[in-house]
Amino acid sequence: MIHFIINPTSRSGRGIHLWEALKSQLDGAQMAYDCYFTKSYEETVSYVAGITAFDQDDADLALPGRKFLHHIAVLGGDGTVNEVLNGVVDREHTCISYLPTGSGNDLARSIGLRSSAKEAFSHLTGELKPLTVDVGRVSGVDENGVSVSRMFAISSGIGFDAAACAKSTGNGAKKLLNRIGLGKLTYLANALVCLFQTPDSSCTITLDDKTKLTRASLFFCVSMIQKFEGGGFPFCPAADSQDGMFDVCVVSDIKKRHVSYVLPLALFGKHTITRFVQILRAKKIEIETSIPLWVHTDGEVPGKFSRIVIEQPEQGHITFLL
């Protein structure tokens, strides 16, 4: 049984049409499946939790030759995968097929997934190779006093990059860029707008409970598992999704006029040569800022925080089928 999680609004509404084409092929092949259309983060998390709770009595349903009990196929973008990841209860026995129909598709780019939505049926029925990658968890108390804990498979950032993600929510420019096939430029377009809206904040960054860094003016700090975020920006070009470590890109003490050349350099991974950028590595990162700043997990924005902790959870990995 394959459980499909479908974002019908992905790629400005094309997601539903891609699903209908795939559904006809599944029905023609008499494949066993069920499907769920995403409505909200909370509902998707609840649905996925219901189908991924481990039950020893279901052990005989594991995929042949593998340990997986639950097979989820995600038709959507990075945000949809993030919702699914946050719902998975038993990551040890769950595998995910990703059919990318988003605007950025950074996860597909990072893990080398080449199958397009049009090739989804052959991807699901062909010989699949499992790839197990790290996941992270960010936790903190938001500006309203609510405790938040979110999983991520790509990256989690605070500051400018998260503000750009927040800007894209319900953004008409994103829909327009998707329609003309330039959806991956959404992050860059929003980044230019947010450049003059992100407030200055000092910060303290603590790595693995011992190394402490202070910055007078934090632009952003992103902890990455994969190499790319924001539609193809390799902020941490050497990130390895299987080493159990976070690669951390800190951009600080930068004048806004300098961002105009540093950000384009980041498209090619050359931003690291500038004096404004520092690349670090750690298993645990604690960030405290002088004012609440936007935070994102895989481009999804849970709110503003002035203190967050990033680390691997128990069962700190998930398996994708390529």
Asked whether the predicted pLDDT for residue 193 surpasses 90, the reply is no
Most confident of 102-106, 114-118, 315-319: 315-319
Mean pLDDT rounded to a whole number for the chain: 87
What confidence tens digit (pLDDT) does each residue in 59-76 have?
555 555 556 889 999 999
Nearest to 205 by CA among 216, 215, 191: 215
Span 78-85, mean pLDDT? 96
Task: Please write down the long-range contacts of 114-123, taking CB distance under 8 Å and 24 or more positions apart.
Answer: 117/18, 117/22, 117/75, 118/18, 118/21, 120/18, 120/22, 120/75, 121/22, 121/25, 121/26, 121/29, 123/97, 123/99
Confidence of residue 319 (pLDDT cuts 50, 70, 90): very high
Query: Is 182 exposed, middle or buried (CB count within 10 Å of its CB: 0-12, 13-18, 19+)?
Result: middle
Q: Determine if residue 134 is left, alpha or beta; phi over 0 gives left, psi from -120 to 50 gives alpha, anything else beta.
A: beta
Half-sphere exposure of residue 5: CA atoms within 13 angstroms, side-chain side: 36
Q: What's the sign of the alpha-carbon dihedral 19, 20, 23, 24?
A: negative
Q: How many whole angstroms from its chain centre is CA 309?
A: 17
Query: Is 252 exposed, middle or buried (CB count within 10 Å of its CB: 0-12, 13-18, 19+)?
Result: buried
Structure tokens given for 296: 């994102």
Confidence of residue 167 (pLDDT cuts 50, 70, 90): confident
Residue 165 in contact with residue 198, Cβ under 8 Å? no
CA atoms of 150 and 300, how far apart (whole Å)? 10
Q: How many whole angstroms from its chain centre is CA 281?
A: 19
Model pLDDT, residue 54: 67
Lowest-confidence segment of 141-145, 202-206, 256-260 by average pLDDT: 256-260
What SS3 class is residue 315?
coil
Model pLDDT, residue 61: 54
| Three-point CA angle 321, 135, 150, nearest 5° | 120
What confidence tens digit (pLDDT) does each residue in 231-290 have?
889 999 999 999 999 999 999 999 888 888 888 899 899 999 999 999 999 999 999 999
CA atoms of 270 and 52, how far apart (whole Å)? 41
CA atoms of 167 and 163, how far apart (whole Å)? 6
DSSP assignment, residue 235? Answer: S
Residue predicted with more confidence, 68 or 189: 68
Confidence of residue 198 (pLDDT cuts 50, 70, 90): confident
Model pLDDT, residue 18: 86
Q: How many whole angstroms from its chain centre is CA 35?
A: 22
Q: What is the pTM of this model?
A: 0.89
For each of the domains in the chain, give its residue range(s) and CATH number, in order of start: 2-128 (3.40.50.10330), 136-313 (2.60.200.40)
**In sequence order, which residues have a C-beta less than 8 Å from that of residue 1 and are 6 or more positions away?**
32, 33, 34, 61, 71
| Three-point CA angle 89, 92, 98, nearest 5° | 80
